[in-house]
Structure 1
Amino acid sequence: MVVFALAVLVTLSSYAAGCSPGTNSTELQLRRMEHQPVTAQLAAVFQEMESLRCEQTTLQQQQNALTQIHQMSPRWTTEREVGTHVLTYGSHDHDDDEEEEEEEDEEKSLRRRGDPCFHYTVLDQAWRATNTTSKFKMCDRNVKWKGWYRMYYKGQSLQMPERCVPVNKCGTHSPLWLAGTHPRRRDGIVTRNVCGHWKKRCCAFRSTPIKVKKCRGNYYVYQFTQPSSCYLAYCADVNTLVCGRCRRNQSCVSRDKINWRCKRKKRLSSKKIHFFASFPGNLMGKVNRIKYSKVLVNVGRAYNRRTGVFKAPVKGIYQFFFSTVAGRRGQKTDLWLVVNNYWVAVSHSHISRPSTVSSLSTYMTFLRRGAIVYVTQNCGQSWANAASTTITFGGSLLVQMR
């Protein structure tokens, strides 16, 4: 019986080791025990079987791990450290048809690697809340600030207050609040002043400025610095808890900086702006601003017939045109397009023989909302009558911009 068990064990150990029978050390070791007592031989057999069972378990675990690695598809893994969000950039094998996708992901990872919105420390300390008072006062001058921070209150995202906070709140004597508005996401990283309230002076302490950035998801990250003295501490405004629940198509707004709400962002509707007007008479000499009183088209009502001024209602790219007809021999006639009090384009005509000459000029430019545009005659004579459209001014909005 023992001899048979030895033979089976030798065969199994040989296959487990990936060798031919008779070539491994287990077989040689067991053959040396042929003349040992049966109990010793059985003990050796059971010991070797236990060793083989452990090896089989290890091999099975390794195979399962390899299978899981092979099946893993996400390229990004998020590692949560204690109080910190860290984005880990892993590398995985891809097929040849995924090379372009891999390059795009690599570019995104390089951009995100230095973005504080993807690497910040969670600052969740209930004593910082604007509605908190405590017996023991805290001082942020004793904190070694490093990197960027996102403020929380009991696991919910909020932001710094933008208004004066009463003294002895936020777990300190002089609460620090943001002396200015939070930035928009397109503003990137901005620098903001911080004030501390003390003795009825909202900005009794002007602390070291901090940096702020708005991230996707309606939250902010802050690069805090050591305050100028003690006892000063950064506040977390509990009134802005609602801001952490705003969706991407919503913005967090407030009239009094106390009560906040999520408001749906207005979609940029493409506005239609077109106008065309003419002057029904002759113009002699210098005319500072031509009042084109005969308005044929005024979509968007941006042109004022009483003043002759076009006022841009939205920011965008506009195209204008203006024309004249001159009819006096030997005289030049110049009409200029004026944008925000700058002469930018001219419609020039000069007659050398008895005849009439018409002149048309166009001009394309970028205008901000509220920009003014009009036409002036610098010199000469322009001819028109009530039935003609020879002295004209018009324009259109080509592209509206945010």
Structure 2
Amino acid sequence: MVVLAVAVFVTLSACAVCCPGNKNSTKLKIQSMENQPMALQLAAVVKEMESLRCEQTTLKQQQNALTQMHITSHQKSAQKEVGTNILTYGSNDEEDNLPFFEEDSRKQRDPCFHYTILDQVWRATNTTTKIKKCDRRSKWKGWYRLFYNGKSLQMPERCIPVNKCGTHSPLWLAGPHPKRREGIVTRRVCGHWKKNCCAFRSPPIQVKKCSGNYYVYKFTEPSTCDLAYCADINTLVCGRCSRNQSCVSRDKINWRCKGKKRMSSRKIHFFASYPGQLNGKVNKIKYSKVLVNVGRAFDRRTGVFSAPVKGVYQFFFSTQTANTGLKTDLWLVVNNYWVAVSRTHLSRPSTVGNLSTYMTFLRKGAKVYVTHNCGRSWANAASMTITFGGSLLVQMK
């Protein structure tokens, strides 16, 4: 029985350590019953243990209640209404494996998990209202996410016509939205008025891209009235366009998806000859006999080929001579640069011809022709030995 009492006393002392407020009173009660029968002492010990357990439970409940009160108070302070606002929290799978308290602390600091929703139809870029809104009258606090009829969108990055977005001077983001790796960035905000897209330079705002492919904004009070932040309805339309479609608009207000026009490959081929003799220097050979001119890029009056599209072209040109000891040169000229030569040089009496080819990249409008630099070339209507031709091999955007 004495051993049991000692064990109970040790347990009671451990419990008393958990509740330091009762430690001294418990010891006093037990010491005052030292001369009492053992049964009474055990009963008193059991009673004190039950009392300590009850106090521990009460303290735990009070601690939980205080924690809940703190969380509720924090949420209420953040839930300031501006128009039709709802406090929501996003989700991010990257933080799912974090410890509870670390994850909760991180979400409290990250605006992607702590923002106010602005779901107001009048903010849309295609909306006009009789009663003009002014965001200067709103008490902005914290971060906000733009919605339109329950669908997430973003601020426009372009000038919005006046009297749109439910206001006189619509506010748009004068800069690109950030990428996720950039974190929180600061962007200028402009208000359109009297044909001046940035007539009003509103105070800068902060922007962040979140993992759910949406943006949150830390709005500030505009510089004057009536100015209001816009929600770009184009975000919803163009977000549904496929890869082979582009988002187009006639009035820059109403947008639609339209199939991209495939670039049709142009067919460019020409072949011309000079049916006569050339002596000495001839700046531009005017090939008067044109047999092929698909695409009509070669001008027979000037002997000049003009590239109608950007791409890779291949040219050929030739000469023939029969003069012993005389060097004859024909040069291909591209944009006034001599780039390739067709040369003949006879050491004994004979007739010889030479054909040269050249492939190059040309931009639209490039000029190509052939010059006779020196020597003597000959041809007639039947032989066609002084020639110039070319083709478009690959068209480029």
Which TM class, normalised by the smaller chain length? Answer: 0.5 to 0.7
Contact 1:250 1:265 in 2 (8 A): yes
In 1, the alpha carbon distance for the partners of 2:220 and 2:301 equals 58
In 1, the alpha carbon distance for the partners of 2:141 and 2:119 equals 13
Aligned to 1:373: 368
Aligned to 1:305: 300
Shift, 1:391, TM fit: 0.8
In 2, the alpha carbon distance for the partners of 1:138 and 1:302 equals 61
| Alignment pair present for 1:260 and 2:258 | no
In 2, the alpha carbon distance for the partners of 1:157 and 1:327 equals 78
In 2, the alpha carbon distance for the partners of 1:200 and 1:343 equals 51
In 2, the alpha carbon distance for the partners of 1:222 and 1:376 equals 62
In the alignment, residue 133 of structure 2 is paired with which amino acid? K
In 1, the alpha carbon distance for the partners of 2:292 and 2:221 equals 62
Runs of at least 5 residues in structure 2 that lack an aligned partner in the other structure: 1-87, 97-114, 178-186, 206-212
Query: What do the CA deviations read for 1:218-269 (whole angstroms, capped 9, x no partner)?
Result: xx99999999973576634446754344333221223442443332212234
Contact 1:319 1:365 in 2 (8 A): yes
CA spacing shift, 1:197–1:300, aligned 2, 3 Å: same
Contact 2:124 2:232 in 1 (8 A): yes
Aligned to 1:27: none
Aligned to 1:276: 271
Q: Describe the SS at the equivalent of 1:319.
A: strand
Of the three residues 235, 245, 248, the one matched with 1:250 is 245
| Alignment pair present for 1:160 and 2:156 | yes
CA spacing shift, 1:399–1:86, aligned 2, 3 Å: farther
Of the three residues 128, 134, 137, the one matched with 2:135 is 137
Give the 5 Å matches for 1:53-64. none
Aligned to 1:230: 223
Of the three residues 325, 330, 337, the one matched with 1:335 is 330
Which 10-residue stretch deviates more, 351-360 or 227-236?
A: 227-236
CA spacing shift, 1:125–1:376, aligned 2, 3 Å: farther
Identity of aligned residues (%): 67
In 2, the alpha carbon distance for the partners of 1:349 and 1:209 equals 72
Shift, 1:380, TM fit: 2.6
Shift, 1:304, TM fit: 2.6
Q: Describe the SS at the equivalent of 1:385.
A: coil
Aligned to 2:393: 398
Query: What do the CA deviations read for 1:279-310 (whole angstroms, capped 9, x no partner)?
Result: 11112232222222222223333323233222
Query: What do the CA deviations read for 1:161-184 (whole angstroms, capped 9, x no partner)?
Result: 6445216x43666434578999xx
Of the three residues 289, 294, 299, the one matched with 1:294 is 289
Contact 1:84 1:122 in 2 (8 A): no
In 2, the alpha carbon distance for the partners of 1:345 and 1:278 equals 18
Contact 2:155 2:172 in 1 (8 A): no
Give the 5 Å matches for 1:75-86. none
TM-score (ref. length: structure 1): 0.52
Aligned to 2:377: 382
Runs of at least 5 residues in structure 1 that lack an aligned partner in the other structure: 1-81, 91-120, 183-191, 211-219
Q: Describe the SS at the equivalent of 1:336.
A: strand
CA spacing shift, 1:360–1:225, aligned 2, 3 Å: farther
In 2, the alpha carbon distance for the partners of 1:300 and 1:286 equals 30
CA spacing shift, 1:248–1:386, aligned 2, 3 Å: same
Query: What do the CA deviations read for 1:188-219 (whole angstroms, capped 9, x no partner)?
Result: xxxx9975323553333578999xxxxxxxxx
Shift, 1:382, TM fit: 1.8
CA spacing shift, 1:235–1:287, aligned 2, 3 Å: farther
In the alignment, residue 276 of structure 2 is paired with which amino acid? G
CA spacing shift, 1:89–1:350, aligned 2, 3 Å: farther
How many aligned positions are there?
268
Contact 1:162 1:179 in 2 (8 A): yes
In the alignment, residue 156 of structure 2 is paired with which amino acid? M
TM-score (ref. length: structure 2): 0.53
In 2, the alpha carbon distance for the partners of 1:381 and 1:310 equals 24
In 2, the alpha carbon distance for the partners of 1:228 and 1:382 equals 81
Which 10-residue stretch deviates more, 307-316 or 200-209?
A: 200-209
Aligned to 1:104: none
**Bigger radius of gyration:** 2
Contact 1:325 1:359 in 2 (8 A): yes
Give the 5 Å matches for 1:73-222. 125-126=119-120, 128-130=123-125, 131=127, 134-137=132-135, 153-154=148-149, 155=151, 160=156, 162-166=158-162, 169-170=164-165, 174-177=169-172, 195-205=190-200
Contact 1:165 1:177 in 2 (8 A): no
CA spacing shift, 1:268–1:343, aligned 2, 3 Å: same
In 1, the alpha carbon distance for the partners of 2:137 and 2:324 equals 85
Shift, 1:324, TM fit: 0.9
